[in-house]
């Protein structure tokens, strides 16, 4: 019997689980206030769905589930070793959402606003910070082609993050169609745009010279490369872009989204344009977003519009936009910095006799405290020290024959 959880998967002790539940409740409360509603989908999907190529690189990281009984025997006897599995664990919440929407469309509102906070699985190589089971935290608007959906997602996500003590953050926004129009204007051709986006997406890691080098190595037009190089070497504003592709309707949408989202943030976070933002997933068709935390460095969320995904299930074009908070990243930050969940009050009833009497006393406190009962131990000082370490706020020593049974405060310095 093996005591440790599998590599890349985690046990969460009460303090840790309490922090996770607190985060989820804060986020849920804000999302509910915005009219989003939670849904649940199974963690397991048909292998056919989960092997679809929209999953990009994540699709290589699927945990596959072995067939059972006769079907497993059949596959082995026929030496069909590519056919040992009929199901897989989901690698994200977007594929299950699109399948869910296609399956339940008749029972859902015309514009669906969905919350998913749930586990996903990736067969990553076990190493620090690469979890194989982790929680994703998504909201999606399905059925709204207007850019109000983008504004609502950005604002709801921003407000949710304001509930968590992560310090300053900002939201970077781009639009894939705008990016592609700019690339076309430089002379890149239509068919190469996806590939150039993939290279551009590496800018953070390989820098301007790296991007230029890869484009040159792949034989793209020198003048086109030169045009792109200028734009990624210096900060670019929406006005700069308007100079390149004036009167582009997607550019107007991008302007409006950024402008209105900023008005609604009332300065509590900034929404900014980022010409170089691509986002990895191939399925994005319009605006893309990313959340960056000034204090902690790096990305703590992202999303975008993916108008073509649901149609793969339904055959019917259906607009969709989603935004995902990097739950595990924020959890790790709050956990490492020792954030204490506010508002929990813990009381111990230490009883000398009369368990029923002590229980009834405990009951009288349960509306204001989380109440634990302990038999009076040989060394009460040791118990009190332990309670303090565990974050208890108060205790009562209950003695049936003592009319007082006073509430004593524990000074836990936190």
H-type helices in 56-166, by residue range? Answer: 69-77, 94-104, 148-162
From 8, 27, 63, 293, select the one nearest 136 (Cα to Cα).
27
Check if the beta carbon of residue 221 is closer than 8 Å to that of residue 213.
no
- Taking CB under 8 A as the rule, does residue 275 contact a second copy? no
From 41, 83, 42, select the one nearest 65 (Cα to Cα).
83
Cβ neighbors of 294 (< 8 A, separation 6 or more) are 167, 168, 169, 170
| CA-based end-to-end distance of the chain | 38
- Taking CB under 8 A as the rule, does residue 295 contact a second copy? no
- Taking CB under 8 A as the rule, does residue 64 contact a second copy? yes
- Taking CB under 8 A as the rule, does residue 281 contact a second copy? no
Q: How far is the CB of 118 from a second copy (least distance, A)?
A: 9
Q: How far is the CB of 98 from a second copy (least distance, A)?
A: 9
Q: Which residues between 186 and 225 bind a second copy (CB under 8 A)?
A: none
Q: Which residues between 375 and 414 bind a second copy (CB under 8 A)?
A: 375, 386, 390
- Taking CB under 8 A as the rule, does residue 148 contact a second copy? yes
From 136, 168, 172, select the one nearest 154 (Cα to Cα).
172
Q: How far is the CB of 299 from a second copy (least distance, A)?
A: 24
Q: Which residues between 310 and 369 bind a second copy (CB under 8 A)?
A: 312-314, 346, 355-356, 359-360, 366-367, 369
- Taking CB under 8 A as the rule, does residue 14 contact a second copy? yes
Among 162, 242, 244, 373, binds a second copy (CB under 8 A): 373
Closer residue to a second copy, CB minimum distance, 222 or 375:
375
**Segment contacting a second copy by CB under 8 A, of 201-209, 260-268, 287-295, 401-409:** 260-268
Q: Which residues between 69 and 108 bind a second copy (CB under 8 A)?
A: 76, 81, 84-85, 87, 89, 99-100, 102-104, 107-108
Residue with tokens 């982790």: 134
Q: Is the dihedral of CA 212, 214, 215, 220 positive or negative?
A: positive
From 258, 297, 29, select the one nearest 164 (Cα to Cα).
29
Facing residues of 395 across strands? 348, 408
Q: How far is the CB of 400 from a second copy (least distance, A)?
A: 14
Size of the site for a second copy (CB under 8 A): 89
- Taking CB under 8 A as the rule, does residue 264 contact a second copy? yes
């Amino acid at each position: 019997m093996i005591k440790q959880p599998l590599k890349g998967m985690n046990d969460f002790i009460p303090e840790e689980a309490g922090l996770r539940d607190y985060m989820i409740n804060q986020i849920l409360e804000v999302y509910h206030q915005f009219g989003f509603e939670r849904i649940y989908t199974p963690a397991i999907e048909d292998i056919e769905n989960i092997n679809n190529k929209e999953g990009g690189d994540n699709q290589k990281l699927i945990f596959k589930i072995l067939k059972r009984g006769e079907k497993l025997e059949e596959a082995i006897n026929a030496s069909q070793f590519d056919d040992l599995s009929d199901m897989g664990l989901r690698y994200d919440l977007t594929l299950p959402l699109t399948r869910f929407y296609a399956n339940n469309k008749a029972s859902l509102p015309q514009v669906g606003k969905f919350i998913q906070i749930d586990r996903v699985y990736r067969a990553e190589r076990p190493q620090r910070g690469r979890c194989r089971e982790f929680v994703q935290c998504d909201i999606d608007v399905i059925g709204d082609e207007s850019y109000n959906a983008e504004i609502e997602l950005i604002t709801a996500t921003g407000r949710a993050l304001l509930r968590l003590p992560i310090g300053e953050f900002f939201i970077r926004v781009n639009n894939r169609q705008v990016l592609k129009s700019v690339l076309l204007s430089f002379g890149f051709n239509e068919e190469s745009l996806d590939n150039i986006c993939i290279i551009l997406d590496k800018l953070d890691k390989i820098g301007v010279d790296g991007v230029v080098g890869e484009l040159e190595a792949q034989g793209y037009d020198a003048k086109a490369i030169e045009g792109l190089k200028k734009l990624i070497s210096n900060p670019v504003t929406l006005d700069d872009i308007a100079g390149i592709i004036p009167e582009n309707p997607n550019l107007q949408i991008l302007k409006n989204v950024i402008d209105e989202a900023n008005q609604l943030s009332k300065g509590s976070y900034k929404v900014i344009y980022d010409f170089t933002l691509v986002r990895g997933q191939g399925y994005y068709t319009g605006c893309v977003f990313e959340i960056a935390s000034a204090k902690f460095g790096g990305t703590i969320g992202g999303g975008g519009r993916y108008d073509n995904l649901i149609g793969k299930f339904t055959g019917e074009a259906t607009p969709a936009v989603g935004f995902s908070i990097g739950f595990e990243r924020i959890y790790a930050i709050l956990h490492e910095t020792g954030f204490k969940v506010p508002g929990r009050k813990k009381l111990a009833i230490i009883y000398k006799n009369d368990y029923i009497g002590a229980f009834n006393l405990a009951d009288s406190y349960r509306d204001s405290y989380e109440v634990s009962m302990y038999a009076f131990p040989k060394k009460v000082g040791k118990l009190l020290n332990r309670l303090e370490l565990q974050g208890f706020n108060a205790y009562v020593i209950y003695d049936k024959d003592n009319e007082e049974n006073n509430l004593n405060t524990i000074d836990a310095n936190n």
